[in-house]
Structure 1
Amino acid sequence: MDKEKDHEVEWLEAQKIEISVDLFAAAKKQLHFLETVDRNRCLYEGPALEKAIYRYNACWLPLLAKHSDSSSVTEGPLVPPLDCEWIWHCHRLNPVRYKTDCEQLYGRVLDNASVVSSVNGNSKLKTEALWKTLYPEEPYDLDVSERSSALENCTKYDLVSAVKRQSPFYYQVSRSHVKNETFLQEAVARYKGFLYLIKKNKEKSLRRFCVPTYDVDLIWHTHQLHPESYSNDMVKLLGKVLEHDDTDTDRGKGKKLDTGFTTTTSQWEETFGRRYWKAGAMYRGNTPSPLTTSPFASSSVALSEEDKEEFKKLIQFPEIEAVEVLLEVVGVRNVPDGNKGKLSVVFSKTQPDSLFSTERRLSIFSEVGEKQVAFFQCEARGELRFQLVSSSPSKLSVSREPKSLGFASFSVKEFLSPVVTHLSVEKWLELTPSKADSKPISIRVALSFTPATRFPSVLHMVESKPPSWKGSCFFPFIGKSRHGKSSTSVVDENETELITLQMSDGAALKDDHTGPRKVIGVTDSGESRVLAEYNGSFWSLLDSKWSLKQTNEDNPVFELLGARVVKVFSGRKLDYEPKHCGNRRSDQDFMTLVEFSKEHPYGKAVGLLDFRFGSIEAKENWLVVPGIVSAFILNTVLKKGGFGGVNATSKVAQCDGLKANGLKEESKESKLVATVENNVKANVTSVVPAAASKKGSGCGGGGCSGDCGNMVKAENASGCGGGCNGECGSMMKSAENASGCGGGCNGDCGTMVKATENAGGCGGGCNGDCGTMVKATQNASGCGGGCNGECGNMVKAAANAGGCGGGCNGDCGTMVKATQNASGCGGGCNGDCGNMVKAA
């Protein structure tokens, strides 16, 4: 208790740090500015950047110096041109160098007190008039065609490199939750805590490189953009201006950033007793590759209320509010002496959750001394359920059934509603049941959340009347379809049928058919409606509100035009871009829908088509209906030859169907199969980092976008685990010589749990090759539990059992309680095999 009070005292002391800037309001303005610059990416490199640097040195700084003189040259605030403001922004983010340059060139620090940003909608007429008076040969707005002359009186600071370092920053803070008021208020408080650590280090003469999380870094940047206030505040706090070193970008293991972040994390948690890592504030990975270097300007048209209502009548798709969660189990207390053994916490949701429907396991920091953190997404409702389990070695076997020591719960709904006042919590939870004659067992959990946002709609297309070959199965209810002819059903994540799509008639699929082709939608009530019609050169969708046509470019391949301008690219682009080599699914299976607008001139990924598994993800409500119809049509382009080895672009080149028959159907035998991905993006668990025991090989550390995750205490075991977008996931409690990997999201393998000696394989993967292998005995091989992987769940397979199970859209399904030497697979949905239950 005394320690907790000490932590609270330290935190309250940190909050007393005086900042002479309204950082909350200023951070909002900075986000708006960065968003505007990102819509003008010519300022990131090339001739426009070089010209902007010239104008900044030759025009803006001299004008600012004149204006900030005691005899101001104009009334009211100055409004800098956007290009000059961007260079000024990057210069100020090296506060020590900026101060030195200003004093050398102008005798004082040039502040922003009398300056208003160009993006805040303020009148720039007075500034523009003054600019023209002082610089008649230089336009106020950037003109790259004008040649720049050499400058002598300018900073020698490498502004090109400074801009290059700052350009990726916006991607890290561009997510919608960062603008949330509660998130920003907590970021300001955490920034004060960050400064407090630096102050403590200075007082103890400790040379430590403190590394901020991205919420803290956003506020630190905001402070530096007010040079005079930053300088005064830092001198008062530290006796000098605090440097902002952004030159280190190598995040490799053991590098300066990595070790600095680890040290900062430890010092923060020891000082404040709070978790440093925070949901929505961690590194997102590298900035995605751009689709174009030329901005595409188009005006978006808002859908009418009538159109919105019409779409709702057509398809009642579920809308889900989701949160990202970062969970750490910090400690445990009052565990009876008779329950010795390895303690861990199994957590899940108590109510059905379409985003988080499995159990996860974390070690307890106070027990193992190593940080393990779970990142995942779930619906913004219901309760998180925690079960404390003890796993003690048995004399008769390698391991025995874990013993439950009790349960506790945490209400996500109550914490986040009705008004979100804080996004982080750390508390002791008492377990039930507990013995009346002893103190209740408690676990201390640390949770942080992002504000709730709409989760993308994920819908799946399944042929209602599947081909007759053996070994293929679809959702059970599909076979009972009310429609006699072959059609494609659109279902949601709960396998609820939303609408059925058909081509106008069977003849329309033949090469010799010359009549118009139509896509017919049949609603749940049995009502039929024409959703699309081919008019000879393009498809007209939804009563001509949208059109789908092939482009003359290789990439993008198609355009979907209507209330928005959407270009369809082959492969996974922008936010869907796979990280590293973890996701080995071929890009030929995918198409990305990218919106181009005034707000997103370089493109915003709004949807993803997965043709191999027949799914469409739509980030925006307006895309759901036209996206489904477009996916149904585009599938005909990619059918011939299957999806393996057939590039979307090359398929389009082969397709001559944009003639009389529209986008020609190329293969009747091809099919869209269902996908039940268990929400790949939702069930991400990253375990960070636990040490492997002696002779274990592989890698660990649970990195996000890293190659490997955590291998936990497997003697002689090899493999890796816990990675997010890494090659492998978590291998937990594997016995001697076990091999494989697990727990990965978008990795090769999933979770291998308690496999005995020589067991091989992997499990638990989302979009990985394998799923969960649970309690497989000696020499059992295979894998299980995969979502979109090759195999599914192998549960309690006896010695020498082989195969796999439980897969959704995998090659195999669930093998349950198969006896000695049994082989095969089962339980698959749209897989090659079905359920093998209690096979001898």
Structure 2
Amino acid sequence: MEKEQELEWTKAQNIAIGVDLVAAAKQQLQFLAAVDRNRHLYEGPALVRAIYRYNACWLPLLAKHSESQLSEGPLVVPLDCEWIWHCHRLNPVQYKTDCEELYGKILDNSNVVSSVQGSCKSKTEEIWNSLYQDEPYNLNLQNALSEDMSERISRLDKCTKYDLVSAVKRQSPFFYQVSAPHMNHDLFLEGAVSRYKGFLHLIKSNKEKSIRRFCVPTYDIDLIWHTHQLHPVSYCKDLHELLGKVLEHDDMDADRTKGKKLDTGFSGTTKQWEDTFGNRYWRAGAMYRGSAPSPLTTTPYQSNIMSKDVVAFPDHQKVLELPEVKFVEVLLEFLEVRNLPEGHKGILFASFSKTQQDIFFNAKRRLSIFSEYGEKQVASFQCEPTGELLFELMSYSPSYLPMKRAYKPLGSSSFSLQDCLLPPSKLYVEKWLEMVPSSSNGNLKPIYMRVAMSFTVPAIAQRTLHMVRSRPVSKSSCFFPFHGNNQDAKSLKHVIDETGRELIRLQMRDPEKEKAKGNSVPRKEVVGITKSGKICTLAEFVGTGWSLMNSNWSLHREKNSKDGYPFLLKGKKMVKFFPGRKLDYELKDCEKHTTEDKTEQDFMTLVEFSAKDPYGKAVALLHLKSGCIKIKEESITVPGIILAFILSDKLKKEKYNGFSVNATEMGSVEEEIDENPEEVEGTNLNSSGASEVALKIEVVEGDVLMSQKGGGCGGACGSGCGTATRSAGSAGCGSGCGGGCRNREKSSGCGSGCGGGCGGELGNSVKSGGCGGCGGGCGGSGGCGGGCGTILKSGGCGGCGGSGGCGGGCGTILKSGGCGGCGGSGGCGILFKGNGYGAKSAQEITSGNSCAEDLPKAVVV
């Protein structure tokens, strides 16, 4: 920061607030989670009844308690009344007015305990029952009276005129935006409090300068702002001292369309913040997440019908050696460059990558520099919180000679992720990096590039495991040797992790087949063969269902499920299998426009129901066609793999084409390089990123594949294979049905349907090809891209991923050329324009979750 900007930030941090906002924010998140478990309060009879109880019972009781304490301890507010009180206080001006008109003063929350915090409610319940004999203290929300409560409300002597139904409707979606685990972390909340003070400082500055601006917060700031308002006396006092009035909280606008009030307000707030304080307004984990997923049921799960807990079976908990992996979300922006060589005339851009292998991010991406183009472009991605980020400054000079090298490396620098994540981390860094000059740079002065980065707190990562068919084992194979001579290797399935490391092998033993071979097998079962060669029975077919892991779990087929789930897993937890991608795996709005419904039949979402999550929590996603399973909860890892194997076997017999990928197609990069050294020498991938082969990012259901691998795009969870030597070839695209591996000279083999093939027959370093044709495309059903491209023109990326999109057109180093389609795993988007709270263009596009018109004009290679 400049000295003046540092002074402004210091002034902001000196703003006095009479509440411990970090502790109070945690309590608010706990309360919002409790309300979300009781969604009857969002609408319908329970909501109307709660509003009546709030006006008829809670406010009068609170008023009496504020005049003369009714009990020795604090009052404990009932959950339904607290929810209405919560929404009322989030209009602080209206709440102050209503309280003063009805009760002569602001009714505060001091000496009141939340329904989720109060351990002793008996005294409050006793007082309540003495005052309101006809209204129970604890309301059964599911059985709330359906009678017309509006008439009873109208007869009340004291009742707020504020439209509380509309207030609840506006506040109901808020919890989804702040429900990610990092929001509840002290380090993240402490930074949010500091940013909230900065937000108030901007508003004060506007007032002093008579500037009318609609200031829009990011969600971390908004969470703290809500927290402050929930303490009405302190909020009024603090804001009167700061602004001379109570600051209104306008939550009436929800239109995020570009150019509307919310969008323009956010853009204006962003510019003012960055001009005033000198740091970036956006923050990782604080931007708009999109609309909440559709609920699976309107009837909450009842904990009293849950199957009894069973004793864990430790031998099976250790079947897989799957080490814990963490991830962070990162937002990155390149701001400006100093000390360029004299006479420099090229177009500047910068690339970023990881210096070591990363499960989530192992690609090189390019991003424009703000000072060069005047357009804010922010890269959003996930990576492991280890190693270093490598930044390379490049110069590009247009040339009409396709074989002439147009890139010039100017310098590089690295940044340790641990430096920003270890205490006393602020989860944000903005600094000038000295770029180590490349050998071709004759500049005597060191070049500096200003970089801004924001991180979330490291969290446990979702894991992606693949199930593949057996293959012959070569000497250089990364798969361990198979132990035993009596097993049929062709019937084995290998379970591998993201790096290609094998975890276990599975085999289905069928008694009928074994009898034909002369073997005696008492029942159908699934056996696992561990890395040490140990064979263990993981599941047995018993009666009409499967018993898993020594009867710790049982799988049943549900033929008449009212909620539409065909399978039910019961044991330590209750897990239902829903067809398609549900809850956290649900496609974003723009993806739904370009993805055909028929692709949903390839997926099953495993949803856990419990007292904590009565409406369900997605714990895993199974892609039946490719044999891929994404797992969020460690406890479901082993049963999830077993079930994926069982369901694939069952559906295959029902003529479903499961496990279309075999182990040969999933071969590791290391193996291929060892066996083809002459191809490695022929591919020029140097450290500066000035490659003669255009690198290509493939995005599969939110997982960024290695840039060295061209395969794996499409509806499948990572099919096909490609290597560093085959980066021009995007083989294996299209839900796992897109052909085998292609060499450096040919990049076809993409997609299915008529017109497939990425780049036709000339997909080498000169012509990287257009991805897909009419009906083909990478990953499913469409994409009218096509056309060959050169190193300068990336061609039309067509419908690369999911169900299409009309890309097409040739691109340059500044334009990726119509990279259409946001369906499925497609899109080439890694950027957003920064309107994080207000506009679609602010949505994170890491997993292709942005419509084509939202993509900024920048290089994506």
Task: Tell me the TM-score normalized by structure 1.
Answer: 0.76
**Contact 1:772 / 1:785 at 8 angstroms: preserved in 2?**
no
Q: Give the total of aligned pairs.
A: 692
Instruction: Return the match for 1:34 from 29, 32, 49.
Output: 32
Tell me the distance in 1 between the aligned counterparts of 2:239 and 2:758. 49
**Gap runs ≥5 in structure 2:** 667-697, 707-756, 811-823, 827-861
**Secondary structure of residue in 2 paired with 1:431:** strand
Instruction: Please name the residue that 2:380 is paired with.
Output: 375
Query: In structure 2, do the counterparts of structure 1 residues 124 and 310 end up closer, same or farther at CA, with 3 Å as the change threshold?
Result: same
Instruction: Please name the residue that 1:227 is paired with.
Output: 232
Q: Does 1:173 align with 2:171?
A: no
**Contact 2:702 / 2:825 at 8 angstroms: preserved in 1?**
no
Instruction: Please name the residue that 1:401 is paired with.
Output: 406
| 1:361-402: CA deviation from partner (whole Å, max 9, x where unpaired) | 110111111001000000110100000000012364698421
Query: In structure 2, do the counterparts of structure 1 residues 758 and 465 end up closer, same or farther at CA, with 3 Å as the change threshold?
Result: closer
Instruction: Please name the residue that 2:430 is paired with.
Output: 426
Instruction: Please name the residue that 1:87 is paired with.
Output: 84
Tell me the distance in 1 between the aligned counterparts of 2:100 and 2:825. 66
Instruction: Return the match for 1:307 from 306, 309, 313.
Output: 313
Q: Does 1:574 align with 2:583?
A: yes
Q: Does 1:337 align with 2:342?
A: yes
Structural mapping, 1:499-514, within 5 Å: 499-505=504-510, 507-508=512-513
Structural mapping, 1:484-495, within 5 Å: 484-495=489-500
Tell me the distance in 2 between the aligned counterparts of 1:636 and 1:16. 65
Instruction: Return the match for 2:600 from 564, 575, 587.
Output: 587
**Contact 2:514 / 2:521 at 8 angstroms: preserved in 1?**
no
Q: Does 1:272 align with 2:281?
A: no
State the shift of 1:297 in Å: 2.6
**Contact 1:557 / 1:568 at 8 angstroms: preserved in 2?**
yes
State the shift of 1:528 in Å: 1.8
Query: In structure 2, do the counterparts of structure 1 residues 323 and 26 end up closer, same or farther at CA, with 3 Å as the change threshold?
Result: same
Tell me which amino acid in the other structure corresponds to 1:154.
C
Q: Does 1:457 align with 2:480?
A: no
State the shift of 1:122 in Å: 2.9
State the shift of 1:193 in Å: 0.4
State the shift of 1:311 in Å: 1.9
Tell me which amino acid in the other structure corresponds to 1:776.
T
Q: Does 1:534 align with 2:532?
A: no
**Secondary structure of residue in 2 paired with 1:405:** strand
**Contact 1:112 / 1:227 at 8 angstroms: preserved in 2?**
yes
| 1:95-114: CA deviation from partner (whole Å, max 9, x where unpaired) | 11111111111111111112
**Secondary structure of residue in 2 paired with 1:339:** coil
Instruction: Please name the residue that 1:654 is paired with.
Output: none
**Contact 2:467 / 2:659 at 8 angstroms: preserved in 1?**
no
Instruction: Return the match for 1:522 from 513, 529, 536.
Output: 529
**Secondary structure of residue in 1 paired with 2:589:** coil
**Contact 1:357 / 1:678 at 8 angstroms: preserved in 2?**
no
**Contact 1:759 / 1:777 at 8 angstroms: preserved in 2?**
no
**Contact 1:355 / 1:678 at 8 angstroms: preserved in 2?**
no
**Secondary structure of residue in 2 paired with 1:338:** coil
Query: In structure 2, do the counterparts of structure 1 residues 766 and 200 end up closer, same or farther at CA, with 3 Å as the change threshold?
Result: farther
Task: Tell me the TM-score normalized by structure 2.
Answer: 0.74
Structural mapping, 1:799-810, within 5 Å: none
State the shift of 1:73 in Å: 3.0
State the shift of 1:181 in Å: 0.6
State the shift of 1:524 in Å: 2.1
State the shift of 1:578 in Å: 0.3
| 1:224-264: CA deviation from partner (whole Å, max 9, x where unpaired) | 00111111111111111111011111111111111111111
| 1:295-343: CA deviation from partner (whole Å, max 9, x where unpaired) | 1033698886x6346422x111242111000001111111112332111
Structural mapping, 1:575-654, within 5 Å: 575-582=584-591, 584=595, 586-639=599-652
Tell me the distance in 1 between the aligned counterparts of 2:625 and 2:355. 33
State the shift of 1:785 in Å: 12
**Contact 2:53 / 2:81 at 8 angstroms: preserved in 1?**
yes
**Secondary structure of residue in 2 paired with 1:559:** strand
Instruction: Return the match for 1:560 from 569, 574, 578.
Output: 569
**Contact 1:377 / 1:681 at 8 angstroms: preserved in 2?**
no
Tell me which amino acid in the other structure corresponds to 2:11.
E
Q: Percent identity?
A: 56
Structural mapping, 1:405-484, within 5 Å: 405-417=410-422, 419=423, 421-433=425-437, 438-464=444-470, 484=489
Structural mapping, 1:594-743, within 5 Å: 594-639=607-652, 665-667=653-655, 670-673=658-661, 680-683=701-704
Structural mapping, 1:213-292, within 5 Å: 213-292=218-297
State the shift of 1:516 in Å: 2.7
Q: Does 1:360 align with 2:365?
A: yes
Tell me the distance in 2 between the aligned counterparts of 1:411 and 1:766. 35
Tell me the distance in 1 between the aligned counterparts of 2:702 and 2:82. 37
| 1:172-219: CA deviation from partner (whole Å, max 9, x where unpaired) | 111111111100000000000000111111111111101000000000
Instruction: Please name the residue that 1:197 is paired with.
Output: 202
Residue range with higher mean Cα deviation, 480-489 or 337-346: 480-489
**Contact 1:773 / 1:784 at 8 angstroms: preserved in 2?**
no
Tell me the distance in 2 between the aligned counterparts of 1:501 and 1:396. 54
Tell me the distance in 1 between the aligned counterparts of 2:468 and 2:654. 18
**Secondary structure of residue in 2 paired with 1:154:** coil
Query: In structure 2, do the counterparts of structure 1 residues 778 and 320 end up closer, same or farther at CA, with 3 Å as the change threshold?
Result: closer
State the shift of 1:810 in Å: 12
**Contact 2:624 / 2:659 at 8 angstroms: preserved in 1?**
no
State the shift of 1:509 in Å: 10
Query: In structure 2, do the counterparts of structure 1 residues 789 and 253 end up closer, same or farther at CA, with 3 Å as the change threshold?
Result: closer
Tell me the distance in 2 between the aligned counterparts of 1:408 and 1:672. 43
Structural mapping, 1:816-827, within 5 Å: none
| 1:754-798: CA deviation from partner (whole Å, max 9, x where unpaired) | 9999974479x996878999962799977699788999xxxx9xx
**Gap runs ≥5 in structure 1:** 467-472, 640-664, 686-747, 797-808, 812-840
**Contact 2:538 / 2:642 at 8 angstroms: preserved in 1?**
yes
Query: In structure 2, do the counterparts of structure 1 residues 615 and 389 end up closer, same or farther at CA, with 3 Å as the change threshold?
Result: same
**Cα RMSD, aligned residues only:** 3.7
Instruction: Please name the residue that 1:776 is paired with.
Output: 790
**Contact 1:464 / 1:478 at 8 angstroms: preserved in 2?**
no
Query: In structure 2, do the counterparts of structure 1 residues 429 and 280 end up closer, same or farther at CA, with 3 Å as the change threshold?
Result: same
Q: Which has the higher contact order (CA 8 A, sep 6+)?
A: 2
Instruction: Return the match for 1:22 from 8, 20, 23.
Output: 20
Q: Does 1:47 align with 2:55?
A: no
Query: In structure 2, do the counterparts of structure 1 residues 572 and 509 end up closer, same or farther at CA, with 3 Å as the change threshold?
Result: farther
**Secondary structure of residue in 2 paired with 1:394:** coil
Instruction: Return the match for 1:297 from 294, 302, 305.
Output: 302
Tell me the distance in 1 between the aligned counterparts of 2:42 and 2:704. 36
State the shift of 1:525 in Å: 2.5
Tell me which amino acid in the other structure corresponds to 2:117.
N
**Contact 1:680 / 1:766 at 8 angstroms: preserved in 2?**
no
Instruction: Return the match for 1:186 from 191, 194, 202.
Output: 191
Tell me the distance in 1 between the aligned counterparts of 2:84 and 2:5. 41
Tell me the distance in 1 between the aligned counterparts of 2:523 and 2:135. 59
Tell me the distance in 2 between the aligned counterparts of 1:397 and 1:4. 45
| 1:627-680: CA deviation from partner (whole Å, max 9, x where unpaired) | 0001111123433xxxxxxxxxxxxxxxxxxxxxxxxx3349753426977664
State the shift of 1:506 in Å: 7.6
Residue range with higher mean Cα deviation, 368-377 or 549-558: 549-558
Tell me which amino acid in the other structure corresponds to 2:556.
K
Q: Does 1:125 align with 2:122?
A: yes
Instruction: Please name the residue that 1:714 is paired with.
Output: none
